Amino acid sequence: MQPYSLFGEDRRPGARSSFVRPAHIVFASTLLLGSATGLHAQVDTGSLAGTVTDASGAAIPDADLTLREEATGVTARLHSGKDGSFNFSPLKLGTYTLTVSHDGFKQSVTGHLDVSIQSRLEVSPHLEVGSAGEVVQVSAGSELLETRSSSVQQLVEERTINALPLNGRNATFLAQLSPGVTFAQNDARGLQASGSFTANGARRTQNDYLLDGMDDNAAIADLVNQGQYVVMPPPDALREFTVQTSTYSAEFGHSAGAVLNVSTKSGDNKLHGNIWEYLRNDALDAKDRFVLPSQQKPAFRQNQFGGTIGGPVVIPKLYDGRNRTFFFADYQGTRIAQGKTYTSTVPTLAERNSGYTNLQDLIALQSGTLTDGLGRVFPTGTVFDPSTTRALPTGGVDPITGLHGTAGAYVRDPFYSGALGGVTNFNTNANRALLNQIPGTRLAPNAVQLINLYPTPTGSTLQNNYVSSPVNRTTTDSFDVRFDETLSQRDSAFVRYSFVNTTQVVPSPFPGVADGSASRPGNGRTQSQNIALSETHIINSHLVNEARIGYSKVRDTRLQLNANTLGIPAQYGIPGIPQIAGNGGLPQFTFGQLTSLGTPGTLP
């Protein structure tokens, strides 16, 4: 059996391969030994194997086999073994033509053989007796039987990736079409929006993401990209991918969930490409159900634009890379401006206008009553004076009101502008009007200043009385560049570099230092990179070395809106708060049922 050089090696029975993938830097060097036929590890490639026979079914040894990739013209050659068997492996993804010839037999040509990720196709050429100049064309229109793998997997091809509608042009959503796979539970981090999924009941963090055979798993998986992967090229840059959910072959052992194995496109002998622009706009949307009738619809504008180009590397008068050197590149930009509707609780207008001395709205906008240890009835929302807290003396007669209660029970009087003696029912109209009048001297000036940071309400209720729709802005730029090279009859290689830069500004429900933001995701920038380099060298007809190295990196910075605004706590009489650049703003405060004020404690 002779070696060949189509991005792969001569695989023999009994050979084994290893594939080691640490989290961020991946290196795999596979040394394969053996002869004739066999099954071997192929992370993002395929194989084509079978037996050459004559019309009677007898094996034909030493038949000449040529496998040609139709798009690039790159060819591979080998001879069938003594039992007529052959095995082209690993094969770069693509469509191939297999030509088989032998002295005394007509030449057999089988075209349009599609090799996909992890496919191990079986082809059995039958040679007819005749002149070598005669050719028998064999159609491969029917799907070839997969006989060499027991893994349960779903193949998603290029046509499917580009034809099906995808939210945000994220091909990861197509994994949810596979058996045993469903979307992941949503949470505050928005992971569901990234296409995050679960397989066979395993957690979403137990899935394994591969890009061109290299590790693509994000160590920090809940940031701006809000997914478990480092990078995911746009659909137009993907050749195909598979989702494997059980009975993985030996080269997969990273996770207990599914394996999402993605392969990017490469160039061929024809220059080709495309451009796109996808638009979504609030003019086409219905109004948010939580937006008040008097308010406009929240803004929403999403633009995704970009293009791809691929082909042979040709430098006029210097280099012609047809049938040898190919490139593929893509770029996608995403611009999203989306109004985010917040429903918050702020002080009522009457409370604010009175300097928080008139808290009548706490009673007027609520219903119900409560009873204390003296049997006094109060309307819900009554504010009690903490300085009047006392225990009833022996005998149970309260010296302040003259009312009877249980000895030792603690009671407290309300803020009430009338006389307390003998009053048992504060829920009458006359008595309700005298409640919740707070003396201004009892309020700390810095506390009033802090509460004044809240905006004026947009509604007249006690709770959920402030609705705002500030604009959330996301800017993403990404690109991928790949080169494939047939170095010689014994060497082939490819290299790919992917880069994604995302900046996100998540507005707060309140203006200025009042903030009130949620703990995630915050504002900042995420940069993601993934590199894959592969080189295959045929040492001799029995020995092949395939080496791969990969590198992944995610750098993320999350800051609060007022991260570089320093000295804010001191302005409100709050000493001792250390602040440096990146950790400024107002600390978080909580006032009863009001929405929290200031910056969440999880940032930066």
DSSP 514-556: GB---SSS-EEEEEEEEEEEEEEEEEETTEEEEEEEEEEEEEE
> What pLDDT, on a 0 to 100 scale, did the predictor assign at position 21?
38
Write out the two tokens for 206: 């137990």
SS3 assignment, position 461: coil
* Per-residue pLDDT band at 594 (split at 50, 70, 90): very high
| Closest to 171 (Cα-Cα) out of 266, 77, 240, 217 | 240
- Average pLDDT of span 408-435: 95
pLDDT at 224 over 50: no
Report the run of H or E that residue 261 belongs to, with start and end. strand 259-264
What average pLDDT is seen over the chain?
A: 84
Q: Over 80: is that where the pLDDT of 142 sits?
A: no
Distance CA 13, CA 81 (A): 12
- C-alpha dihedral (411, 416, 419, 420), degrees to nearest 10: -20
* CA 132 – CA 71 distance, rounded (Å): 26
Q: Identify whether the C-beta of residue 562 lies closer than 8 Å to the C-beta of residue 453.
A: no
The percentage of the chain sitting over the pLDDT mark of 90, rounded to a whole number, equals: 47
3-state secondary structure 37-52: CCCCCCCCCEEEEEEC
CA 214 to the chain's CA centroid: 17
- Asked if 586 and 597 touch (Cβ cutoff 8 Å), the reply is yes
Count CB neighbours of 26 within 10 A.
21
Per-residue pLDDT of 179-222, as tens digits, reads 888 887 766 556 667 778 888 888 888 888 999 989 898 875 55
pLDDT at 168: 83
Residue 391: strand pairing partners: 410
The pLDDT of residue 523 = 85
Whether the upstream peptide bond of residue 604 has omega within 30° of 0, thus cis, is: yes
Using the predicted structure, report yes or no on whether residue 154 has a pLDDT greater than 80. Answer: no
Residue 17 is predicted with a pLDDT of 35
Confidence band for 431, pLDDT divided at 50, 70 and 90:
very high
Residue 12 has pLDDT above 50, yes or no: no
pLDDT in tens, 353-398: 999 999 999 999 999 999 999 999 999 999 999 999 999 999 999 9
Least confident span in 95-104, 352-361, 370-379, 518-527 = 518-527
Which range has the worst mean pLDDT, 2-6, 27-31, 290-294?
A: 2-6
In the predicted structure, residue 540 carries a pLDDT above the cut 80: no
Confidence of residue 529 (pLDDT cuts 50, 70, 90): very high
Mind listing the pLDDT tens digit for each residue in 21-54?
334 454 544 444 433 344 455 677 888 889 999 9
Task: Measure the CA–CA gap between 240 and 492, rounded to whole angstroms.
Answer: 21
Lookup: tokens for 422: 């003998």
Block residue for tokens 């001395």: 357
Q: What is the pLDDT of residue 2?
A: 38
Span of 3-17, 243-257, 426-440 with lowest mean pLDDT = 3-17
Q: Are strands 325-339 and 300-312 parallel, antiparallel or unpaired?
A: antiparallel
Q: Find out whether the peptide bond into 521 is cis, omega within 30 degrees of 0.
A: yes
Residue 78 has pLDDT above 90, yes or no: no
Q: Is the pLDDT of residue 146 over 90?
A: no
Per-residue confidence band for 147, with pLDDT thresholds at 50, 70 and 90: low
